[in-house]
Each structure stands twice: as structure tokens, then as C-alpha cells.
Amino acid sequence: MKIAIIGAGNLGLSIAKGILNSNGATTMYLTKRNTAEIEEYSNYGNVTITSDNREAVKKSDIIILAVQPSQLENILESTKDLLTDNHVVISTITGFSIAKMEAILGSDYNIIRSMPNTAISVGQSMTCICSNEKGKKKIELAKAIFNRMGHSMEIPETQMQAATVICASGVAFWMRLIRATTQGAIQLGFDAKEAQELAMHTCSGAASLLIESGSHPEAEIDRVTTPKGCTIQGLNEMEHQGLSSSLIQGIVASYEKISRIKENQL
């Protein structure tokens, strides 16, 4: 696969790392205006670094768009004459609808809208995808690309904002929970490095339990909570302090913010 990543910033470079780690591309173009910061990637034999988006589009089949929302329109306008039937355009842009992309490109091209997260760099992204009418026949290809770097789910476009909060912002939410657990562990006597190791591997184990057993979180909690024991004491105190409620409220606040950003853009 010949892949171009237009906008090699936080997410674009995470995708690049995921692709390189999984040998997922025969050639890869990485573009940004200031290329000095990513020169090290030219050490990979099959990677070209450039600020020329037109060259990247011309030489690639899969075009992954990872610029800020306000930067996308110009990029689409300046490259659309190069697009062919063979191209699959995969946008990762928050709040930029397929209709808005089609208003610029037309509806004759394969357009996939995706929402990966930065864990794509280590092959662990939860990525949601949807497509325009024309792109429906490329959705399996898009899934195959993202499944090499984690797990993908096809969803209706109407759920894309919610997926952004849960999956993309979600990485930051889980990081904060792991950080808070680490701080608790330090207070209980572990040094900072040990504390983080305990927190992150316990978090990873808890998620793996659900993924591999298919069971419900409360069923797993029941297996841990000894009657009158320390786990239920801790859990109940966390809930008295509003743990679940604050998480849900944060998720809803994040969703409301995305909705406002989207309204301003469209």
C-alpha cells in the first residue's frame, strides 16, 4: 500500500509509527509545512518527508488527512484535481462531516471518515469509521488498515462525535485515571516508577479481562469484592465522592464542546 499522511503532527505521527511498526505500507509520504521536526523519519527507507501535499497525493493510493479542522479545506482544494478512483481518502478530522468534504471534492471519490486515537502508534487504537456512498466498497480495506493497528468498528456518521469523545479524548481520560491511581500508590509507599508500573499494568489487565472473557465489569467486580473487605470499602467511598458521576459528566461536557466546535465550523 502506498500511503500519504497529510499533517504529520500528534495524531499523524502516531499513525505513521503504527504503520511502520506493522510493516503496513510499501511507501509512505509524511507531510507538514515545517519538515525539520520529522526529518528522522527519512531514515526509514520507504518514507518520504515533504511539505508538498500534491506530490504526496500523486504518489499514494491511501490519503490519510490529519491536519487541524481549519486547515483541511485549503488542502482539499489544492489537491482535489489529482484525485482518482483508485484513491481512498481517509479523514481523521474532528467535526468535519462527509457532506462538507463532498461539497469540496464532489461525491465521486472514496471518502472514509475515521476516528483513531494516539494508541495507534503501539497498535492498540480503537478506531471508528464510516464512509460516503462511493466509499462503501472500500470500508473493508479501511477496516483492514486500522485492524492492523488495533480494533475498528463501523458506525453511522451521526455517532462520530460521540466516538471522538469516547475513543480519541478517551485516551486522555484513562491517562488521568492511571495518573490518579499512581498518586494513590505513592501515598501508600511505592516510589513513583513502581507506582506507575502497578497502575498501568493493573489497568491493562482489567481491560484484557473484559476483552478476553466478554464479561460485564460488574461481574468482574463481584469476583474481587470480598464481603466486608477492602475493595468494596474503597469502591463505595469513590462512588460517595462521585467517581462514576464525574466521569459521565466529563464525557457529556466533552461531547457538548465538540457539538459547539462543529456548529462554528459548518
Ligand X SMILES: NC(=O)C1=CN([C@@H]2O[C@H](COP(=O)(O)OP(=O)(O)OC[C@H]3O[C@@H](n4cnc5c(N)ncnc54)[C@H](OP(=O)(O)O)[C@@H]3O)[C@@H](O)[C@H]2O)C=CC1
Ligand Y SMILES: O=C(O)[C@@H]1CCC=N1
Between 25 and 67, whose beta carbon lies closer to ligand X? Answer: 67
- For residue 28, list its beta bridge partners: 3, 47
Q: Does 118 bind ligand X (CB under 6 A)?
A: yes
Question: DSSP character for 46?
Answer: T
Q: What's the min distance (Å) between Cβ of 250 and ligand Y?
A: 13
Q: How far apart are CA 158 and CA 161, in angstroms?
A: 7
CB 100 within 8 A of CB 88: no
Q: What are phi and psi of 47, to 5 degrees?
A: -105, 130
**Residue 66: contacted member of ligand X, ligand Y, none (CB under 5 to 8 Å, by partner type):** ligand X
Q: In this chain, which of 168, 185, 195, 258 binds ligand X, going by CB under 6 A? A: 168
Q: Does 196 bind ligand X (CB under 6 A)?
A: no
Q: How far apart are CA 136 and CA 138, in angstroms?
A: 5
**Residue 93: contacted member of ligand X, ligand Y, none (CB under 5 to 8 Å, by partner type):** ligand X
Binders in 11-50 for ligand X, by CB under 6 A: 11-12, 31-34
First to last CA, the chain: 33
Q: List CB contacts of 148: < 8 A, sequence separation 6 or more.
A: 18, 22, 24, 123
Q: Does 117 bind ligand X (CB under 6 A)?
A: yes
The residue among 251, 44, 39 whose CA lies nearest residue 165 is 251
Q: Does 262 bind ligand X (CB under 6 A)?
A: no
Q: What's the min distance (Å) between Cβ of 215 and ligand Y?
A: 29
Between 184 and 250, whose beta carbon lies closer to ligand X? Answer: 250
Between 53 and 94, whose beta carbon lies closer to ligand Y? Answer: 94
Between 37 and 140, whose beta carbon lies closer to ligand X? Answer: 37
Binders in 60-99 for ligand X, by CB under 6 A: 66-69, 71, 75, 92-94
3-state SS class at 165: helix
Q: What's the min distance (Å) between Cβ of 92 and ligand Y?
A: 9
Which cell numbers hold the place of 45?
Answer: 527507507
Q: How many CA atoms lie within 13 A of 77 on its CB side?
A: 5
Q: Does 264 bind ligand X (CB under 6 A)?
A: no
Q: What's the min distance (Å) between Cβ of 164 and ligand Y?
A: 5
Between 72 and 199, whose beta carbon lies closer to ligand X? Answer: 72
Q: What's the min distance (Å) between Cβ of 95 and ligand X?
A: 7
The residue among 138, 149, 147 whose CA lies nearest residue 112 is 138
CB 110 within 8 A of CB 135: yes
Q: How far apart are CA 16 and CA 22, in angstroms?
A: 10
Residues that bind ligand X (CB under 6 A): 6-12, 31-34, 53, 66-69, 71, 75, 92-94, 115, 117-118, 168
